[in-house]
């Protein structure tokens, strides 16, 4: 049903579909009391998500590698929404030090945190290790967001406790999680150059985003926290994310042209899951076109999710106690 709905724009049970835009799915929602962090909010669907969140009144914190570009986004938003509240904090997700610095700077602002949108990502990169010695796609798309989420989770939970407003964590995944290595996550070869395939490594990192959200949702429910965690597939979007594999992306566009979305449509599912009242209490699910969709068997594998969580903790240089729930 997912691809048919995406191609035709038919609305699903939520009342929205692939043709819905971020503004449409948040129409009438007042987010003026919320603080939202968006990673990678300086371009593409991250910038559109930031714009719509600000339009609905939220205090938006953009985590961006390129702060100059992020500031241009901020100024553009302010032109259309002069009352927008936007702050920018430098963030390089492939660097654990940068992630910790971002968390420290945000926490020093002494503001609440209602929604964390783990949006940033890289795709189809040539093999490269991060400064922490981890393959770049896995380091950026999963490890950086895993660390950031755990560092900020106490603030999200305390905000939810104080305000009574449900906290939400949204991981941007992708339908690319269907194409990963055998077994889903190759724990013993994450950073093995000889076994590296850029497409499968990307799929592996996107599967990790789903598994992270699922395991986080399980732990939060077990704890009784008023916080949800979900993952989303934004769709095939016309952005610069595929710059490392232009020929492959060109062929993909030619063969799947009816499935491609505009940036406002691509940001819709993120904004829906982050803000819509009908999402209250829904956790550990995977969304596409603003509706619940089923992942692969790997994406529903609870033991794989637990193993990924435990493995991810071993990748941090500092004591694990600082990032555990």
Ranges assigned E (strand) in the chain:
35-39, 59-64, 85-90, 115-118, 167-172, 227-233, 236-237, 260-261, 286-288, 291-293
Contacts made by residues 65-74, CB under 8 angstroms, sequence distance 24+: 65/40, 65/90, 65/91, 65/92, 65/93, 65/120, 66/42, 67/42, 69/42, 69/43, 70/41, 70/42, 72/42, 73/41, 73/42, 73/43, 73/47
CA separation for the pair 286, 51 (Å, rounded): 24
Q: What are phi and psi of 286, to 5 degrees?
A: -115, 130
- Number of residues in the chain: 325
Q: Which sign, positive or negative, has the C-alpha torsion 306, 199, 145, 147?
A: positive
Among 3, 124, 181, 196, which one carries the catalytic annotation? 196
196 annotated active-site: yes
Q: CA 175 → CA 222, 223, 236, 296, distances in Å?
A: 28, 30, 9, 9
- The number of angstroms, rounded, from the C-alpha of 164 to the middle of its chain's C-alpha atoms is 24
Please, which residues have CB within 8 angstroms of residue 309's CB and are 6 or more apart in sequence?
A: 211, 212, 215
Show which residues are catalytic.
Answer: 196
């Amino acid at each position: 049903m997912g691809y048919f709905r995406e191609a035709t724009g038919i609305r699903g049970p939520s009342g929205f579909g692939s043709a819905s835009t971020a503004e449409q799915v948040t129409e009438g929602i007042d987010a003026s009391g919320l603080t939202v962090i968006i990673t990678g909010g300086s371009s593409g669907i991250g910038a559109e998500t930031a714009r719509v969140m600000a339009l609905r009144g939220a205090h938006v914190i953009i985590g961006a590698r390129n702060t100059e570009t992020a500031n241009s986004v901020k100024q553009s938003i302010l032109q259309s929404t002069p009352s927008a509240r936007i702050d920018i904090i430098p963030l390089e997700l492939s660097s654990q030090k940068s992630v910790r610095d971002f968390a420290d700077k945000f926490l020093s602002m002494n503001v609440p945190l209602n929604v964390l949108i783990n949006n940033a990502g890289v795709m189809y990169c040539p093999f490269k290790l991060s400064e922490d010695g981890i393959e770049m796609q896995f380091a950026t798309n999963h490890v950086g967001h895993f660390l950031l989420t755990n560092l900020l989770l106490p603030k999200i939970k305390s905000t939810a406790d104080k305000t009574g407003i449900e906290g939400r964590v949204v991981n941007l995944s992708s339908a690319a999680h269907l194409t990963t290595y055998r077994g889903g996550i190759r724990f013993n070869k994450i950073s093995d150059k000889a076994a590296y395939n850029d497409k499968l490594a990307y799929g592996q990192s996107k599967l990790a985003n789903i598994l992270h959200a699922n395991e986080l949702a399980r732990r939060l429910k077990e704890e009784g926290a008023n916080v949800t965690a979900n993952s989303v597939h934004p769709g095939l979007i016309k952005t610069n994310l595929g710059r490392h594999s232009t020929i492959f992306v060109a062929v993909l566009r030619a063969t799947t042209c009816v499935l491609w979305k505009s940036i406002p449509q691509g940001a819709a599912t993120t904004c829906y899951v982050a803000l819509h009242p009908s999402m209250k209490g829904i956790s550990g699910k995977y969304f596409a076109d603003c509706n619940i969709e089923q992942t692969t068997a790997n994406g529903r594998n609870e033991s794989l999710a637990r193993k990924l969580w435990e493995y991810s903790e071993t990748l941090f240089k500092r004591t694990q106690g600082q990032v555990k729930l």
